[in-house]
Chains A and B, each alone.
Chain A
Amino acid sequence: MKILVTVKRVVDYNVKVHPKADGSGVETANIKMSMNPFDEIAVEEAVRLQESGKATEIVAVSIGVSQCQEVLRTALAMGADRAVLVETDAILEPLMVAKLLEALVEREQPDLVILGKQAIDDDCNQTGQMLAALLGWGQGTFASKLTLGEQEIEVTREIDGGLETVALKLPTVVTADLRLNEPRYVKLPNIMKAKKKPLETLSPGDLGVVPMTQLTTLKVAEPPKREAGIKVADAAELVAKLRNDVKAI
């Protein structure tokens, strides 16, 4: 069983982002970047499947600028065996990421692809579903539990009303939700070891894909700010205000 796992380099979740002065995009110069949190969960799950003897090889993939090597090294330090960077400066919509991943899947022939459910920069929540569509595979999205069998994988999915469990034929696509696992901290010796693991760089052209976009960002702005209100002394005052001033109860 071979697993392909995707890692996106995004603005760290603790950083507050701002629009560029001219409103043309998001200011990302000189700010802390990290692995997308959902992708840490995806890598962790792959590593656990390998540690339990169910997976034999884990290939981590990132698509983007050359600095994406950093998140790939983190994935290698967590336990991935090798890494592939599809290097490009192009603006990547999820459909294009999915097309590049489709080409990589043809090349690597994994039995399982694990992605994060959502990138916390674009908040799209699309790439896994798109990849599954292009491959004609099933999609176990928003996964909070995986049980791997021989021909099938059972995926418990977080849905609006609770949980749903489905069995998907392998090979298949899974997207990781927050409660699938808790990612490990990488230890220093593993960071050192990761430096020696193979990291291959490809271009979109190597995969026969020409990046293109269908969206133009016209403007990026901050939403209207909400003003802080007042402090009230106790529950009695709160109830009086809610009843009399704003008629909310």
Chain B
Amino acid sequence: MKNILVIAEHDHATLKAATLNTVTAARNIGGEIHMLVAGSDCAGAATASAKIPGIAKVLQVDADHYAHHFAEDLAVLIAGLANKDYGHVLAPATSFGKNLMPRVAALLGVTQLSDIVGVENADTFVRPIYAGSLLATVQCSAPIKAMTVRGTAFAAAASEGGTASIETVPPAVPLGVTRFIGQELTKSERPELTAARIVVSGGRGMGSSEGFKLLEDIADQLGAAVGASRAAVDAGFVPNDCQIGQTGKIIAPELYIAAGISGAIQHLAGMKDSKIIVAINKDEEAPIFQIADYGIVGDLFKVLPELSAELDKLPPA
């Protein structure tokens, strides 16, 4: 069997968490796993990759034109590598992986599997369709199986203990069709949404960005991340990257608290695998209650301050 190539997502110095979940999916396929770290001054990320148990070899590619992770340039590199040696190519189903992997697949002339949540065997995978209302088991006959991996469906691999070799690989020629202009990254002291143990999330019912302060206080008390429904994001209460759902982020924290969110299927698609779900909504018919472990029917502007006060009273665990 040919080897498996995992594409690392990183910021050149460190690995992004979703990379570790992707390694676990690769392990479930079975075979020798190599990891590609392509970036600019990315020795830090390559060293971190070499420490992941189960990685046999790290391919490090350093070039200025990989500084912004442009899919246009990375895809040429990855397709070149995949054509030589690999039977499977995996990337996390993050905005990075979703942008990149279909481009790699098309250059290879193969189909791509998006967002896999299960590995049945080396050519059969499970993936959600219709906003997660259904799960499809699909068999892939392509010579190279290209896919993105949903992080919440696979446990994170350990990040210490491995001793992979690091091999330097030359960059591919830049395509030169894309120019970086700028980035506006949301700054937050809170944990990252996809990695947080607890997420408190608000919907249209929060009313305004001032309303969201109520949730932010609770987030800080719990060490939680803040999420939102599409309606709350569209209304400008919180930044776009807070959106949970079919077309936003997919998360599965230990505890998800939803306030003023009705529970549309597109929202549930992003959080229904959370371990414990709490819903606060003034409408007792709201669909979110059908999947909530604990529900409070009431006005969130009354319940959230009470919740905050109760949390203040709580002795340390």
Contacts and interface: CB of A to CB of B under 8 A. Distances in A.
B185 A166 contact: no
Contacts of B140: 214-215
Interface stretch (B41-49, B51-59, B158-166, B239-247): B239-247
A196 interface: no
A214 B111 contact: yes
Contact of B317 (A17, A124, A131, A249): A249
B99 A231 contact: no
Contacts of A199: none
Interface string B231-245: 001100001110000
B309 interface: yes
Given A124-B114, A129-B103, A136-B175, A226 B130 contact: no
B111 A215 contact: yes
Contacts of B284: 231
A56 to B, nearest CB: 23
B65 to A, nearest CB: 13
A158 interface: yes
A54 interface: no
Contact of A222 (B110, B134, B292): B134
A187 B292 CA distance: 41
A107 interface: no
Contacts of A216: 138-139, 141
A234 B303 contact: yes
B106 A95 contact: yes
Contacts of B132: 223
A166 B182 CA distance: 7
Interface stretch (B23-31, B202-210, B293-301): B293-301
A29 interface: no
Contact of B134 (A163, A213, A220): A220
Contact of A215 (B135, B139, B186): B139
A232 interface: yes
User: Which label, helix, strand, loop or mixed, suits the secondary structure of the B interface?
Assistant: mixed
A214 B143 CA distance: 9
Interface in A69-108: 93-95, 98
B184 interface: yes
A235 B137 CA distance: 42
B112 A95 contact: yes
Contact of B240 (A144, A169, A234): A144
Nearest to A248: B255
Contact of A161 (B100, B181, B185): B185
Given A129-B106, A161-B241, A218 B138 contact: yes
A215 B138 contact: yes
Contacts of B98: 125, 141
Contacts of B293: 229-230, 246
A179 B234 contact: yes
Contacts of A98: 106
Nearest to A98: B106
Interface string B242-264: 00001101000011000000000
Contact of A243 (B70, B183, B303, B314): B314
B311 interface: yes
Contact of A123 (B103, B178, B246): B246
A194 interface: no
A118 B175 contact: no
A139 B278 contact: no
B142 interface: yes
A138 interface: yes
A145 to B, nearest CB: 11
B155 interface: no
B173 to A, nearest CB: 12
B240 A231 contact: no
Nearest to B268: A226
B95 A242 contact: no
A236 interface: yes
Contacts of A144: 240
A205 B98 CA distance: 30
Contact of A158 (B240, B296, B303, B317): B240
Interface string B300-314: 000100110111001
A7 interface: no
A222 B194 CA distance: 24
CB-CB nearest 4 A-B residue pairs: A229-B293, A126-B102, A133-B106, A129-B102
17 contacts: A117-B247, A118-B247, A123-B115, A126-B101, A129-B71, A139-B72, A142-B99, A162-B184, A164-B184, A169-B176, A169-B178, A226-B291, A238-B278, A239-B310, A242-B294, A243-B314, A249-B198
Interface of A: 11, 13, 16-19, 26, 93-95, 98, 117-118, 120-134, 136-139, 141-142, 144, 152, 154, 157-169, 172, 177-179, 213-223, 226, 228-236, 238-239, 241-243, 246-249
Interface of B: 68, 70-72, 75, 94-96, 98-107, 109-115, 124, 128-142, 175-186, 194, 198, 222, 230, 233-234, 239-241, 246-247, 249, 254-255, 265-266, 272, 275-278, 284, 289-298, 303, 306-307, 309-311, 314, 317
